[in-house]
Structure 1
Amino acid sequence: MTATTPMPPTAPRSGEWPTGEPPPSSPASLEVLVHRLDPGLPLPTYAQPSDAGADLATTQDVTLAPGERAIVGTGLSIALPAGYAAFVHPRSGLAARHGLTVVNAPGTVDAGYRGEIKVNLINTDRSESITLRRGDRVAQLVIQRVEHAVFREVAYLPESVRGTGGFGSTGGFGHSSDGGPRREDHGVRSRS
């Protein structure tokens, strides 16, 4: 009797889900009313069927010097159903390649807002300017269901494992999970 070595699983082919089933075609759909203020620009579009963010384009040409900010229009206004909000996120490629991001990321578009969606951009690159042309995709719009909280004042809060620790208290860059310096920090701690 000879032993056989099991074959490693093969990677799924493009368009195939790891289970062998076809992937979901797209997320659930939600109708959002759009008024195009600038008919020369496209409606928000998803680059791929499974993408969370729909691309937003700028209405104007603008050059941002290092550290400079600008608010650019998208030529769009929307009406969201009650219980939803839209969030304006940076495009990852622009942030990674050019340092262009959204200052107030994510920018919030409330369901009751009917004005033009604008994007507050900043060039974080220290040495290079970036030039945007009318129609360039500058941000992404993510639509999400939101809940309204009922805020109830209490005399104290229930205990939790984390407690009042914040701002890096769970570990991360330069610190161990107990909040102390990592070995490579050579015991140097900031004073507070």
Structure 2
Amino acid sequence: MIQVDIWSDVRCPFCYIGKHRFEAALVKFSHRKQVRVEWHSFQLDPAIETQPEISTLDYFVKAKNVSKDQAKEMFDGARKMASETGLEMDLENSVVANSYKAHLLIQLAKTKNVANQMEEALFEAHFQKAKNIDDNEVLVEIATSVGISETEAKDALNSSDFAAAVKEDELQAQKIGVRGVPFFVFNNKYAVSGAQSSESFLEVLEKVWQETSA
């Protein structure tokens, strides 16, 4: 069995790309049924304020202290990476939103064995549908789309248990030196940082499998 722990933030475009590149590697990995994936919460910017009224481009220009042309170039680069991975991203229209509540739902989803589906639905809502992932109604709708009841979703958004789980993931990330996401750890031994190519992920999977089998 191969354990893969993934730290990710649903407002990070490279986490969305990394997820799909890793999944593309899994498809080619002949022992994929022996791979167990666990998602972990990580907020790139815990202090970000949700601001649906401003454009993501304007926010990025101010937050990163770059020109609008530089910001557009960065957005184009991310969009190109996404497209090459088979994803379409509408970065300019994505809502500037804090992802903390989304992470509460991810922790709930982990207890229901639908964390991967929840991650995908949240990424899609944020990057493709321009939904506000800090809005309770939107989040409940997303939760029900992956088979979680409305009541459970609403309870999770106010649960100290899931808040503690988010905090635990973040503390664990600090302990192992995670500085940015996506961050993949294979069998607590090999780490892969960033949205690497599917070939790179496959190479690591094969190496870990050989060691595990031996």
Please say whether Structure 1 and Structure 2 have the same fold, judged by a TM-score greater than 0.5.
no
TM-score by length of 2: 0.24
Larger RCO: 1 or 2 (CA < 8 Å, sep 6+): 2
TM-score by length of 1: 0.26
